[in-house]
């Protein structure tokens, strides 16, 4: 059975979508925030290595992962899939980073391989990138002309007092 095509007009041309395809009409596209250009330092493929912070109950675990940061078409968001291992466990997730012009801050949304989600703010001040969530925090500094990011992560059980959770170094490979 052949599906009928539905004509759709974009701003400059007419194209056809199969009947039943999800369609949306864009009215007044949002202008790209120039602050997004700061995220260019993240763009590329990297290998991440590090170690979790040990405690009296838990030994430190080695971290090895691959991280990819790419602009989503349109340049309003950065997509960051990450996959790897923490100790013997496979881990992964997807972070999406955008800019909230109302608050003047970057916002991140993270979805992990265990079904958890997290929202954080991301800021840049005095050469330090800082991710801040309700119970997590990370500070990172780029060195080596933007090719290496060393990041120190903290977690908080009460939302007030942080303890180290891991330190990682992300090295760009392209």
pLDDT in tens, 127-147: 999 999 999 999 999 999 999
- Extents of the domains making up the chain: 34-172
pLDDT of residue 29: 72
Q: What is the mean pLDDT of residues 83-105?
A: 97
**Cβ count near 78 (within 10 Å):** 22
The DSSP annotation for 105-135 comes to EEEEEEEETTS-EEEEEEEEETTEEEEE-SS
Q: Which CATH architecture has domain 34-172?
A: Beta Barrel (2.40)
pTM value is 0.81
CA dist list (Å): 38 to 34, 45, 106? 8, 17, 10
| Whether the predicted pLDDT of 13 surpasses 60 | no
CB proximity list for 78: less than 8 A, separation 6 or greater? 39, 42, 43, 69, 70, 71, 72, 96, 97, 98
């Amino acid at each position: 059975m052949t599906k009928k095509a539905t004509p759709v007009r974009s701003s400059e041309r007419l194209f056809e979508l199969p009947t039943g395809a999800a369609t949306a009409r864009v009215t007044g596209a949002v202008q790209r925030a120039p602050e997004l250009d700061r995220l260019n330092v993240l763009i590329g493929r990297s290998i991440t290595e590090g170690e979790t912070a040990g405690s009296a109950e838990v030994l430190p675990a080695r971290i090895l992962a691959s991280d990819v940061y790419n602009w989503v078409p349109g340049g309003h968001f950065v997509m960051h899939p990450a996959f790897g291992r923490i100790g013997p466990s496979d881990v992964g997730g997807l972070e999406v980073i955008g800019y909230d012009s109302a608050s003047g801050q970057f916002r991140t949304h993270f979805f992990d391989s265990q079904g958890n989600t997290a929202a954080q703010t991301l800021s840049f001040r005095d050469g330090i990138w800082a991710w801040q969530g309700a119970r997590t925090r990370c500070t990172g500094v780029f060195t080596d002309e933007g090719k290496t990011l060393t990041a120190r992560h903290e977690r908080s059980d009460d939302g007030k007092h942080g303890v180290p959770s891991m330190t990682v170094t992300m090295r760009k490979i392209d």
